[in-house]
Structure 1
Amino acid sequence: MKNEFIALIILFLLVSCQSRQQVTENISAIDSTLQVNATSLLENKLSELDALSGQVIIMEVQSGQIKALVGLTDKDSANYQPCENFSVWQSTGLMHPISLLAALETGKVKLSDKVDTGNGIYQVHGRELKDHNWHRGGYGELTVQEGLAASSNIATYKTMEKAFGDNPQTFFDLLANMSYGKPDSINGIVSLQPYKITEKNITWNCIGYEQLISPIQVLTFYNAIANDGKMIQPQLYKDSVVVINPQIASRASIDSLKKALVFNITDGLGQSAKSDKVVVAGMQGTSSLSTNEISTKDMYAVEFCGYFPTDNPKYSIIVSINKTGLPASGGLMASDVFRQIVDTMNF
């Protein structure tokens, strides 16, 4: 009888612990004030642009806790409705800094290196690689850091040529070592798919094309940059911190990239993201949209991803908007939402 009583006590304690654990796992990390503010600001921008859809994700740098998760889509001519679009799989305009980090890791490239972008049109294997200002004569000679701040496709590609030469596989190996495209799954986000390269071609992969990735996976990488190279699993619930990769790249390379991402805000095309409240770092991007391996020339993804405060990053944010037609500019459209969100936050 005594043994049965002890067994019952142990069973009760086990069930009680499991129940408490389950409750802990299911406590949402979402900050309701941030969620409401981010939703309102994104909706205003989508309406202004007559955009198709958009999302904002705000994450704590060190814990990976998601403080706001906003997805909106145009369901009728008047209103935007909440939607679960966080597993959307598409090309990204935010690849340039990630490619630069891989190049810095080879030791063959420095931010001060010069690169000639010419008149903004560069022939690569019979195809034209263009900068956004090609019709105005291009950027000419830039430093690698200036090339990033100008979102120059040609500067990025020529930097990759210098770093990887005739061995592009080294680039893809470095991306894998840096855990680019992780995580493959997140508790609470349905149907998130693993990052996919549709064709291994360094010319286009290095600027975000011929690959499929979701914005939250891009945010995970930028968050790792903010976190001095430590990649953390995004968490929708308050739970223990899960480390995906303890060090995606050397501290020297991370520090160089951080410097370039601040320069982009002070002197580059990311100036619309500049906040009067705090120093931010980040990158804008615009890409012709391809979703689920279908390219649609008239559709664009305009994006901005960044973090702050730069001296001790606490939050990282991605803003991703899908729209039809031109103009399409991550540096003017998505970055504006980023700045407005930062200005509403307390930190």
Structure 2
Amino acid sequence: MMKNKLITLIVLFILVSCQPIAEHISSIDSTLQANATSILEDKLSELNAQSGQVIVMEVQTGQIKALVGLGRKDSADYQSSENFHVQQPTGLVQPISLLVALEAGKVRLNDTVNVGNGIYICKGDTVRDHNWHRGGYGEITLEQGIACSSNIVVAKTMEEAFTNNPKSYFDLLVKMDYGKPDSIVGISNLRPYAVTGNSLMWCSIGYDQLITPIQVLAFYNAIANNGKMVQPQLYQDSVVVINSQIAGKASIDSLKQALLFNVTDGLGKPAFSDKVTVAGRQGTIVISANEDDTEYAVEFCGYFPVDNPKYSIIVSINKTGLPASGGLMAGDVFRQIVNNIMSYIE
């Protein structure tokens, strides 16, 4: 009897050992991946841009439903590119800086800032709003400043809120896990977010830092997820929480209000969808300045539906020369992808 039991156990062990190890199941939606690729490629061709990314993520799970990277070198055609680890400055940090000030109890959305004629000189540095040559915005609220992409609103607000203790601004960013994650299974060479300068003003509007679009998306996804930051993942694994609450409910709700206002009444209008209510923010930033050509990143990051967010999306395009508009260019791609998703959800 004992011998028979032993033989049975050995056979079971062999059978179990011979079973293939369960593979991760991809989270990518092949239809959405193909459609997002087509939409992005059309826009890159239209703009004669160097490269671009589109990432679509489920808000609550962090599962990535589309991961598109395109670029070109010598050819006129765009090729698939594993550029998701490439870090650069981002124009999408301004609402995050506002969240830091809100969380520190330094400001409210209806506070006003005088941006004057769109040119602000601080300690020898000059900050300009995009409409400085048209006379600037004058006195506007913080909510309006986010909606009109005012560098000066953010720079002046951060200066007033944190000038006596700039370290507290950076400490709060760390506490909120800005720049996380620094490792994602399936994406190679992803590095930690890096601060390249010590200027509070320049960091708060997107310069003096290096970050990837997927790390920016993780933060905006946390805003959509009522403050819970989850790990972006390419496989249908269990949900991994990076930070259970990046900021208080009141601060998150205020920023959500500003991101919705941006799409309904601000420069984010090109992202507006007639199929579903969306919220988000556009960004335009210089990533390299050369004598002949200046390279810009034009971006849009947002989520939908606003009342119960299911998806968050980031669009990031690198192009040389003007015009360069995060709203008109990346926001339009965002809108097309949202409408595409809604067309087969309905």
TM-score (ref. length: structure 1): 0.94
1:295-334 equivalences under 5 Å are: 296=290, 298-334=294-330
Per-residue CA distance 1:198-245 (angstroms, 9 max, x = gap):
012111000110000000000000000000000010010111110000
Counterpart in 1 of 2:248? 250
CA contact (8 A) 1:109 1:162 kept: no
Distance 1:304 1:162 in 2: 27
Distance 1:83 1:247 in 2: 34
Amino acid at match of 1:9: L
Counterpart in 2 of 1:71? 69
Counterpart in 2 of 1:203? 201
- 1:144 aligned to 2:147? no
CA contact (8 A) 2:116 2:139 kept: yes
Secondary structure in 1 aligned to 2:70?
Answer: strand
CA contact (8 A) 1:122 1:130 kept: yes
Question: Which consecutive segments of 4 or more residues in structure 1 shift more than 2 A?
Answer: 1-16, 75-78
Distance 2:200 2:14 in 1: 57
CA drift at 1:11: 6.5
CA drift at 1:10: 5.0
What RMSD over aligned residues (CA atoms) do the two structures have, in Å? 1.5
1:108-257 equivalences under 5 Å are: 108-257=106-255
CA contact (8 A) 2:159 2:200 kept: no
- 1:6 aligned to 2:9? yes
Per-residue CA distance 1:14-71 (angstroms, 9 max, x = gap):
775x823xx2xx2111001111110001000000000000010000000100000001
Distance 1:203 1:12 in 2: 63
CA separation of 1:8 and 1:162: change in aligned 2, threshold 3 A: farther
Counterpart in 2 of 1:343? 339
Amino acid at match of 1:63: T
- Percent sequence identity is 66
Unaligned runs of 5+ in 2: none
Distance 2:312 2:175 in 1: 22
Secondary structure in 2 aligned to 1:279?
Answer: coil
CA separation of 1:177 and 1:336: change in aligned 2, threshold 3 A: same
CA contact (8 A) 1:281 1:310 kept: yes
Give the aligned length. 338
Distance 2:254 2:183 in 1: 30
CA contact (8 A) 1:280 1:308 kept: yes
Secondary structure in 1 aligned to 2:332?
Answer: helix
Secondary structure in 2 aligned to 1:62?
Answer: coil
Distance 1:15 1:211 in 2: 50
Distance 1:11 1:124 in 2: 73
CA drift at 1:164: 1.6
Distance 2:89 2:43 in 1: 21
CA drift at 1:180: 0.1
CA drift at 1:108: 1.8
Per-residue CA distance 1:140-166 (angstroms, 9 max, x = gap):
100010011011011011111232231
Match of 1:259 among 249, 254, 257: 257
Counterpart in 1 of 2:21? 19
CA drift at 1:78: 2.9
CA drift at 1:173: 0.2
Secondary structure in 1 aligned to 2:21?
Answer: helix
Secondary structure in 2 aligned to 1:169?
Answer: helix
Per-residue CA distance 1:249-308 (angstroms, 9 max, x = gap):
001100000000000001110000000100000000000015xxxx55610000000000
Distance 2:47 2:156 in 1: 34
Distance 1:226 1:3 in 2: 56
Amino acid at match of 1:45: K
Distance 1:192 1:201 in 2: 25
Distance 1:304 1:255 in 2: 20
CA separation of 1:202 and 1:13: change in aligned 2, threshold 3 A: same
Distance 2:177 2:14 in 1: 41
Distance 1:176 1:11 in 2: 50
Distance 2:272 2:171 in 1: 34
